[in-house]
Chain A
Amino acid sequence: MNRSILVCCGTGCIANGSLAVADALRVALAGTDVAVEATGETEVKETGCNGFCENGPILRVMPDDISYYKVKPEDAADIAASIGAEPLERLLYRDDNDKPVLRQADNPFYAPQHKIVLRNIGQIDPQSIADYTDCGGYRALERALQMTPEAIISEVEASGLRGRGGAGYPTGSKWRAAMQYGEYPKYVICNGDEGDPGAFMDRSTLEGDPHCVLEGMAICALAIGAQEGFLYIRDEYELALKHVTKAIRDAEEAGILGDSIMGSGKKLRLAAVRGGGAFVCGESTALMASIEGRVGEPRAKYVRSAQRGLWDKPTVLNNVETFANIPVIIGGGGENFALLGTDSSKGTKVFALVGKVKRTGLVEVPMGVTLRRLIFDIGGGIVGDRPFKAVQTGGPSGGCIPEKLLDLPVDFDTLTDYGAMMGSGGMIVMDDRSCMVEVARYYTNFLAEESCGKCAPCREGLRQMLSILTGICEGRGLPGDLEALEEICALLIDSSLCALGKTAANPVLTTIEHFRDEYNAHILEKRCPGGVCRELTGSKKDGTGVTSSKAGKGDLRV
């Protein structure tokens, strides 16, 4: 039997030394010639991120389906020797009952997941177009070439797909709007700026399965009549940039993209663009300004990008994860796709589960699963079995959800109804030793620094909110502070120019709503119940929360 050893070489595992593991394995396997007769050929394949980076480097022997975790180069000889023989028990994952787990599907982290977007990641070599086509890649594009734009868009509409970049705007409607304008050229843009601290689903997808994003974009281009497109990729994402650039070149060389898409005579030129390095550059109009070479600042959206977007031409801009769903929808049918999920949110969503849970990582689940299932089943519960306090969803302008709402189904509308957001799918779990005022202060600080600063409500509002929140954390809170915060929040929601300002109130409003007692303890009793605020506790505790590489200043002390 021929085998492959899939070595995870996503950014996380590379940081843990997976490239050395892959090399050591190749050496070790070359030394076991004798065994080949009995066990067949074994190839070592470098894949994208398996989502469970904290246990990396991860490796998976196929088709036996044995997964090893925290593998070191020194383990290579033992692994090579174990091929076709007994699995190496010391490298297996141990479940909550300390039982070793062989197959990925039996691992409690993976078992409840349902992979659509991440379907190929971890199984294929992202740098090999043959790997992608071998598992059905580009077949949806082939199908789309036989369809009219109308039929493609109807299929996307039937799927109920909503944008995964945060706003949840129906993808089909967006495409239809752009299709209807008769002005050319038109553009298709993939938003891979991924500015939310802690989120890494877009990076993993671009790194681990770049062709599926290109395929999604190509289908969109056919539907709206675009011949040019851009992938705007966050500037720190070196590996993603490299893989995407190679994927574009390979697809063009294979005649799949470029001057004649699969010989159809239809043209599509794609290019990867390095992001501007600011959080706000992920906002659609700022992103387009940045591609045009202007300062990445948002503009008012009274005229939609579908009509006047990049260089004032009709443009569709979608998130990485949104595009990654498209080949599945066109390949398998929109109605099939819509079988999964809730009434208003179809398909799956990838979350970056981090913070004080036992298992952290990238997880893909059907829309509508409960927060409890995410945090307690997949995440395995709170580290040290401490009490759960809150989960922050939706990135910097998301909200904090308390214990009593843990049975909420996670979908676009439910989260928005509770003042939180789906956002890009960040999910930070906090235990009883976190301070909700500090959490609000942290995000407000992030947004005050990362706002473009162009419009007055956002810039001045956040400045004063930060000043009031800092005051509360440092023991200078006054009665009336919460009302002052709420007043500014109302202004931000109503009057800001872009969605950053319009949603910037969420962290503050949700923490006031669900954790008012905690605010009052700070303001009236000068006490920090979480024991985090240094000025109120006399000590500083170091958090192990999520660091934002962009905000730079100060980690979230959760």
Chain B
Amino acid sequence: MIVTIDGKEVSCERGEYLLDIATRAGIRIASLCHHEGLQGQGCCRLCTVEVETGRGDTGRGEGAQSGSFSDKKPRREIVAACIYPVEAECVVYTDSERVRRNRGILLALLRASAPASEEIAELCREFGAPDGARYEVQSGDGKCILCGLCAKACQTLGTGAISSVGRGTAKKISTPYDEPATVCVGCGSCAAVCPTGAIEVAEDGDERTIWNKTLTLTRCSRCGAVTGTAFEHYRASVHAGTEPPDLCPDCRRKAMTDTMAKTFGV
């Protein structure tokens, strides 16, 4: 199947997500809440593009509210590329006037809510977002844009220490009752997937502090690099019966090469 993105014909499988198709073809669609391993968020809406469908297809739409059930004419709609499965040949515009306008306002809104985020500021520059002078800037050093990736990562790893709580403008990501989460193992996966660097991880000597919880770090017995937290290894040993690692991945590889070298006498 062929989709045409910004005039470029790209072949794809039926049902593939538009963002993946574009990325493969080297076409940039900005995204924030998309992460390869944690697909399906679709909530930052930065990746919205304009799609022209309906040349003979069913005229699906996201909003049943649109009431456009009867028009079979080709139509242009705004979709979130990261979760939009391509089911029929279509023409995609990633930088049309309408896309640019929406993206600009959205970025300006995000900047007002996450004023301390360098990533958002950079995106605003890249896409020429309006200044949003009329917007009320959230106080504090907010960087979180509530994309939900952290909670999803934590849940996917089976820990589930953080989740989104509340709704509407009061929504936030937090541990239960804002207390240090008993189940948090301090692995830092949440911080690793965060697109705006909003989750603070502080390391001081043999301790890591994250989500108001301080955990003891374990280190590689050879090079001293951090291999995780003691609690993380303890939980893994309870659940999966794994041994705590003695070496970091790098040293483990080196150790293996050394052994091989010795064995084969190179």
Contact = CB atoms under 8 A, between A and B. Distances in A.
B148 interface: yes
Contacts of A499: 63-65
A494 B98 contact: yes
B169 A449 contact: yes
Interface string B34-63: 000000001111101000000000001111
A456 B45 contact: yes
Interface in A429-460: 447-457, 459-460
Nearest to A166: B65
Given A302-B79, A466-B169, 16 more contacts: A300-B80, A300-B83, A302-B60, A453-B146, A453-B169, A455-B43, A459-B169, A460-B106, A462-B169, A480-B134, A487-B101, A487-B105, A491-B101, A494-B48, A494-B98, A497-B80
Contacts of B110: 456, 460
Contacts of A459: 146, 168-169, 171
Interface residues of A, dominant DSSP: helix
B106 A453 contact: no
A378 to B, nearest CB: 27
A284 B101 CA distance: 29
Interface of B: 42-46, 48, 60-67, 69, 78-80, 83-85, 98, 101-102, 105-106, 109-110, 112-113, 134-136, 145-146, 148, 164, 166-171
Given A450-B167, A459-B171, A490 B101 contact: yes
A467 B137 CA distance: 10
Interface of A: 166-170, 173, 278, 280, 284, 295, 299-304, 412-413, 416, 447-457, 459-464, 466-468, 478, 480-481, 484, 487-488, 490-491, 494-499, 502-503
Given A278-B167, A460-B113, A168 B67 contact: yes
B168 A497 contact: no
B134 A481 contact: yes
Given A301-B64, A502-B63, A495 B102 contact: yes
Contact of B109 (A447, A448, A488): A488
Contact of B106 (A450, A451, A495): A495
A246 B169 CA distance: 39
B62 A453 contact: no
A463 B112 CA distance: 10
Given A302-B83, A448-B168, A464-B109, A454 B48 contact: no
Contacts of B67: 167-169, 412-413, 416
B145 A453 contact: no
Contacts of B85: 302-303
16 contacts: A167-B65, A169-B69, A284-B64, A300-B84, A301-B62, A302-B60, A413-B67, A450-B168, A457-B109, A459-B169, A466-B169, A491-B101, A494-B102, A495-B102, A497-B80, A502-B65
Nearest to B172: A453
A417 B112 CA distance: 33
Contact of A167 (B64, B84, B109, B135): B64
A477 B263 CA distance: 80
B62 A456 contact: no
Given A494-B78, A502-B65, A304 B60 contact: yes
Contacts of A490: 101-102, 105
A481 B133 CA distance: 11
Interface centre among B42, B64, B69, B113, by most A CB within 10 Å? B64
A454 B112 contact: no
